[in-house]
Structure 1
Amino acid sequence: MRTIVPRIFAVLALLSTLLLAVPVGASGPELTISTLSTRADLVSGGDVLVEITPTPPAGTAIDLDGTDITDAFATGLDGRYLGLVTGLTVGDNVLTATQPDGSGATLTLTNHPIEGPVFSGPHLQPWDCRTAENGLGEPTDEHCNAPSIVDYHYVATGGTSYQAYDVDNPPTDVATITTDRGDTVRHIVRRERGSLNRGLYAFAFLHDPALGDPDPRAPQDGWNRKLYYPFGASCNTNYTQGSMPGVLNATRLAEGFAIATSSLNVLGHHCNPVLSAETALMLKERVVETAGPIRYTMSTGGSGGAIGQLQVSNAYPGITNGLMPGSTFPDVWSTAMEVHDCVVLEATASPMTPLQKAAVDGHGPPQSTCAAWTGTFAPGSIPFNGCFSDSGVPTTNTPDPTRDYIPVVQSDGCRATIQDIQVNVWGRGDDGFANRALDNVGVQYGLAALNLPVTDPGKITMQQFLDLNTRVGGVDMDGIRQVERTAMDPATAEIAYRSSMLNDGRGLARTAIIDFAASLNVEIHTPYHAYAIEERMARIGHEDNHVIWHNGPSGTAWDTMDDWLAAVEADGGIDPLTGLDPDAVKETRPAIAVDSCWSSGDQEDLSACAPEVFADSRIQAGMPLSHDVLKCTLKPIDPADYAGAVPPVTPVDLLVLEQAFPDGVCDYSVPGVGQVPSVQWLTYNDGPGGRPLGPPPTSTAF
């Protein structure tokens, strides 16, 4: 004991000295690690831009799975502490920041291959590469990967268009440009092209190569840190990479915008909004990791490009923030419902006058809409129409008899239908084919026309109504007319709503929208579609986030949207990963951003110059203007539904109706079968139906 006690006192004295030597408050701040280019669980391509807040003290070590990468970080943009973390392996990678006092934070980064998938589910096969045809050389693997190409273009003094800029022999006649941020820079843009997610991508932004390579930690003057992301038109079923998109839009680049898009954001190439969303997420990540953080993203696109914006943004809000759709359709499958009805109604050939037919199918007196639908897009439901031709519309596909599906003869071939390229969402039925979200069981075609006043030339008789509904039938899984009506499994209906394949507008509440509604009723782009999406958003209290402009000037819309998003940003209402604060969008809406029409360049009230808005056959059968019931809930036949029939409905008529509708008729006063709210940010890597990813991962302090 005489030897132990002095040693204890000596140790205590030493500890006391050490504690006195540590200054009060010397422990480091609690750190947070955040990914800026994408969610931490959705990283792709092996790198990600990271921010650590607050700026850690000198001596803080940052490592990736035990390898020191402190030198990758520096104080850059707006005084923020940023680093481009590279060398990630596929799967989970642990990033750790450790301060001198031993405290710090850790974040798991989940990296996916550059060819994907990230959340869209297993790759479709076969898949044809197009890298060589698009100037990237032969693919380096079966995933169509190829080295990216960077080139520069400039506008000459006094010129208006881009020409090649030789970095090794720079031209001397480069014009200068002043961006919308007030930066005056040489008018030179950096363009990058490559293969990503098995598609072909391109992006460009103002960048002077004389100042060195881009550094995402400290963006050069010129780029205003805003992104323009266009979406392409149509809807088709190609199992190929497609064509390299163009991004050298001098107007937007000169304003300071970066421009990015991919062949897989053209639904006329590959009509799968989930794959389009995944591709946009991955490409935006690449833009951020090259140029720096994005303030907000604006998008345009008409017809299928409207579907691309609206459906991507409903399912994955945050990918684009300010939407400017034109010739609008809300989504693929409520549009497919309209096409389906045109197919069966046109084939039924019930004797009617043109005005009666218009009253039944709802498209208005010109009666060109159903003819346009059946002539152009009905082949999208025919599986042997051709998978590999890179065509923009189904009618111009070129079948490949060696690889395409042929009934009986080649049943394992590629099926060129919309549901088959979306099979990861829908799953397969007992026949091995992808499930589809089509159904017309219980639909009383022509119900509104039956109940019109006797003086209306569109009114149909009870006999015409009975004849139509007895004979209308449906289409089978090969897109062939059948006697039975088309029936959908209730589980498929629920997937449609849950996945945003039927767009309910819930995710769109996190965006701002100026909708260039069509102003004619003479072909497929009829104006009621814009009102349908606004009606859906009204149900969740966010119709103010959606603005309809008939014949509005595109330049005014662009400037209005830019001002709108800047106001949301100033209000603190932008999350770069999840989109806009819905209430901030409503509160900051510019005064000019209201439903209106434009005549001779002047904005007017809708009642002054907006076109007459017709509908389609489902709305004429009793569905609300929202046009969002894929499979209706059934009710018993009720004679009151035919109160306007002339002559009045008879017991014999009711008997015929019971035979035509043995399970009942549609009850549009209640939600449809499986009509559940959409769930945002689903992954299909685990199977059909989707699993919610949940909120973005956050770092853990220690």
Structure 2
Amino acid sequence: MNRSILLLLLVSSGFLVACGQDPLVKRQVISIAPMDQKNQILQIDKHISLTARPEETFAFPIPLGKVGPADSLYSGKRQYPFYCMTLDAGIGQPLVDNQQGYGVAVYDKNDKVIGYSKDCMTISRIDYFYTLAGTDKILPYDLKMPPAREKIATTHIEGKPVPEIFRLERGSINRYIYFIAMLVPETSLGDRDAKQYWNNKLIYQFKGGASIGFRQGQMGASRFINRRHTLLRQGYAVIGSSGNNTSYSYNMLLAEDTARRVKSQFISLYGEPLYTLGIGGSGGGLAQYLIAQNSTGVLDGLMPIYSYPDMVSQSIFILDCDLLQHYFNITDNGNSKWKDWEQRENIEGMNGINGFEHPYTFLVPLNQMFAGAWPSMPNGSSECVYSWFIASTFFYNPKQGFVKPYFSDEVKEQVNWTYWQDLAQIYGTDDNGFARTTWGNEGVQYGLKAMQQGDISIDEFIHLNQYIGSWVPQDKMRKETAFTPLGMKFPIWLSLWGRNNITEPKSHVAKRKPSDPKAIDNGYRYGQVFIGKAEVPILEIRHYLEEDLNMHHTLASFEARLRMLEYQGHNDNQVIWISHKDHTPIDKGIAFLDQWLLARRNSEDKDPVMTKPLALVDSCIDEQGNVQFEGDNVWDGEWNNKPAGKCSKIFPTYSNIRVQAGGPWAGSIFKCGRVSISDAIEGGIYGDVPMQGYQQKLENIFPSGVCDYTQGDIAKPDLGLTPSLQAKKNNRSSPPSAVGVRRSLEK
């Protein structure tokens, strides 16, 4: 769990630059392979969930010592450049596949280049690991020199003690590294087929992180096993792939394709499981929502942790954050109101705390001076700053790229490094070759709620919307200005908040950016947006982290719920547990999901609502693991326009920038319908605030009108979907109620 996206992005993008020669330079990508493969992306008419997937073309299982498929089954051409990370994963160098210099160099034992790898393939192999007795440490098990029996921890299978020895298979599928882990008998070491201890239940491990793609990804063997150690020692099998780790890509079509094939590899070896349960946090949670929405046959149930409904709709407010910080710290620096972080909260919606320590506050006065504004040291922070710091640069600026030398300078200059470019085969490209983007802020009235509630004046509202501006077009963007002095790990950022890429006022108004309807259309059709279609058992778990200004805010759970309510007409198959950060109720949650999934498997109509365990309900949980309150209404609040429920009073939900601008709490409007200023005044968009005298000023700021969110997302296409669960709900009795059922969760 990261303190902020800053640290996450710095690690994954390489801003933590060490002094001296970086060993990565030796194996950086120095030339981009041509994209000449015939592999095509799945063709979508309406919504991706309505499109059948093609028959498998690869003959699973992959034999040991051989390689899996390089081309995906249906998610498009191979992406280049592609940085190999097999060495980082501890399985050696990738296989040589060319002599033309494409990809990374591969060396012999004398450190001489013997060829290059553009596709990062590795052979399938098996290794063994064990748990060191008295600890949770996972260590390699050497078949030639096995550890003493007393050094190996013991677990129990069917009441009998057995040593904790795990077989781990790794190889490459769709160019990513796959993992298959299982508890095995000590007497079966060397036998790939042994499955005596498997309980016939399968866990698919997903992982989160922030990404702009172009990397293979990796996870150490011990880490992979340790992450699901509790389940492995019970007999569950656990599978996964670096392609299902959003630290390396947010392409959810490719993630689904990869997960399906990793599961096929498992089934070809060990047979069909009773069920496959997804588990994973942050990006690993949203991946579950989207794979379950878009397809069948991969996941039977979900345990999203710290989840978001999807990444692309989070970018709607994320890319507002730096625009607001530039406005608060530079444009309207003279307004003392913005020194108060609770005042900023009225505009940002996300939590703001006066006196909160931020390690990089020294960059603020430095940038103010460079911009000609009076410098001041911030005395506090907000989620917008602390957690989403430099996110706009990372996700949106095509000139930024990786600072860590995965790619040579020549390669860096040839690639547009953005979240959308990673998914260019889905979103499409514009006339300049840049991936189309979904983000825009035309018609958005920042701070609308704050003005309606009297937290800011009409003049402050006008000034904010007049000068906040937007991001310049991608072909006009410049690389951020930063340098790393000798001995420092963090760069001195001289263009904080992306201020060199924000539109300048012309005729006293800073121009806004329109959303691209083609990108939005493709995002919806290809299932990059969660629309609320997830007709499987779901238990969403998160810690309450608002007081830490953590990016994993509570609202994300209720965004997913609101979208399910809109699509299905109910959310009865989604349960939300929020706990104190000192308690993690995952093991108890697994027990409930196991009961639920088995009941659904044995049910005649497979209805996930009617098979849900009676005691599995929305809950808030304290640091000891005790349920404080539970039931159908405990999370009610402003997000669903109801009085605050008992859990909401303990763990309050904050909003975000677009909600504070009058948008819906579901957070999925990429392109708003607009109305004229006169119609907005007449229609009550400003509430009781008398705006007639400001009509001309507003028309100058919003010449094409302001957002009328009652029109929904006007770029959302007709997806041709009919909610199957809603049809069932209309013809069944009410689902079992568990309101008032008390239970205690064991720590």
Same fold by TM-score, threshold 0.5 exceeded?
Answer: yes
Task: Supply the AA of the counterpart residue of 2:197.
Answer: G
What is the CA distance between 1:168 and its match in structure 2? 5.5
1:180-259 residue pairs with structure 2 within 5 A? Answer: 187-208=164-185, 210-211=187-188, 220-246=195-221, 247-249=224-226, 250-259=229-238
Task: Supply the AA of the counterpart residue of 2:625.
Answer: G
Distance 1:326 1:317 in 2: 21
**Structure 1 residues 668 and 253, CA, compared in 2 at 3 Å: closer, same or farther?**
same
Match 2:706 to one of 655, 660, 665: 665
> Which residue of 2 is the match for residue 586 of structure 1?
609
**Structure 1 residues 113 and 358, CA, compared in 2 at 3 Å: closer, same or farther?**
same
Matched, 1:570 2:599: no
What is the CA distance between 1:433 and its match in structure 2? 0.7
Match 1:125 to one of 77, 80, 88: 80
Task: Supply the AA of the counterpart residue of 1:375.
Answer: F
What is the CA distance between 1:271 and its match in structure 2? 2.8
Q: Which has the larger radius of gyration?
A: 1
Matched, 1:611 2:651: yes
**Structure 1 residues 292 and 177, CA, compared in 2 at 3 Å: closer, same or farther?**
farther
> Which residue of 1 is the match for residue 463 of structure 2?
467
Task: Supply the AA of the counterpart residue of 2:127.
Answer: D
Distance 2:131 2:327 in 1: 59
Structure 2 unaligned blocks of 5 or more = 1-51, 98-117, 354-380, 478-500, 504-509, 635-644, 722-747
1:321-400 residue pairs with structure 2 within 5 A? Answer: 321-349=300-328, 350=332, 351=335, 352-353=337-338, 354=340, 355-366=342-353, 367-379=381-393, 380-387=395-402, 389=404, 400=408
> Which residue of 2 is the match for residue 278 of structure 1?
257
Asked if the contact 2:681–2:692 (Cα under 8 Å) also holds between the matched residues in 1, the reply is no
> Secondary structure of the residue that 1:332 maps to in structure 2?
coil
Distance 2:345 2:569 in 1: 33
Distance 1:132 1:558 in 2: 33
**Structure 1 residues 427 and 318, CA, compared in 2 at 3 Å: closer, same or farther?**
same
Q: Which string of whole-angstrom CA distances, capped at 9 and with x for unpartnered residues, describes residues 312-364 of structure 1? A: 33223442232222222211111111111112222223434434321122113
> Which residue of 2 is the match for residue 308 of structure 1?
287
Asked if the contact 2:444–2:661 (Cα under 8 Å) also holds between the matched residues in 1, the reply is yes
> Which residue of 1 is the match for residue 481 of structure 2?
none
> Secondary structure of the residue that 1:587 maps to in structure 2?
coil
Superposed CA RMSD: 3.0
Distance 1:370 1:156 in 2: 42
Distance 1:365 1:188 in 2: 48
What is the CA distance between 1:615 and its match in structure 2? 0.5
Structure 1 unaligned blocks of 5 or more = 1-38, 49-83, 88-111, 390-396, 406-412, 574-580, 681-702
Distance 2:53 2:188 in 1: 31
Asked if the contact 1:439–1:486 (Cα under 8 Å) also holds between the matched residues in 2, the reply is yes
Q: Which string of whole-angstrom CA distances, capped at 9 and with x for unpartnered residues, describes residues 388-447 of structure 1? A: 84xxxxxxx877422113xxxxxxx11210000011110101111100110111111111
**Structure 1 residues 326 and 169, CA, compared in 2 at 3 Å: closer, same or farther?**
closer
Distance 1:543 1:515 in 2: 15
> Which residue of 1 is the match for residue 589 of structure 2?
557
**Structure 1 residues 40 and 462, CA, compared in 2 at 3 Å: closer, same or farther?**
closer
Asked if the contact 2:163–2:186 (Cα under 8 Å) also holds between the matched residues in 1, the reply is no
> Which residue of 2 is the match for residue 514 of structure 1?
540
> Secondary structure of the residue that 1:339 maps to in structure 2?
helix
**TM-score normalised over the length of structure 1:** 0.72
Match 1:534 to one of 557, 561, 566: 561
> Secondary structure of the residue that 1:334 maps to in structure 2?
coil
Asked if the contact 1:514–1:593 (Cα under 8 Å) also holds between the matched residues in 2, the reply is no
Distance 1:558 1:477 in 2: 46
Task: Supply the AA of the counterpart residue of 1:674.
Answer: A
- Report the count of equivalent residues: 549
Q: What is the aligned-residue identity percentage?
A: 27
Matched, 1:139 2:95: yes
Distance 2:306 2:136 in 1: 30
> Which residue of 1 is the match for residue 620 of structure 2?
597
Task: Supply the AA of the counterpart residue of 1:131.
Answer: T
Q: Which string of whole-angstrom CA distances, capped at 9 and with x for unpartnered residues, describes residues 619-654 of structure 1? A: 1122221111111111222214365565x2233x11
Asked if the contact 1:231–1:305 (Cα under 8 Å) also holds between the matched residues in 2, the reply is yes
Distance 1:445 1:204 in 2: 49
**TM-score normalised over the length of structure 2:** 0.68
Matched, 1:505 2:532: yes
Distance 2:550 2:248 in 1: 22
Match 2:245 to one of 244, 266, 269: 266
> Secondary structure of the residue that 1:299 maps to in structure 2?
strand
**Structure 1 residues 484 and 562, CA, compared in 2 at 3 Å: closer, same or farther?**
same
Asked if the contact 2:302–2:536 (Cα under 8 Å) also holds between the matched residues in 1, the reply is no
> Secondary structure of the residue that 2:180 maps to in structure 1?
strand
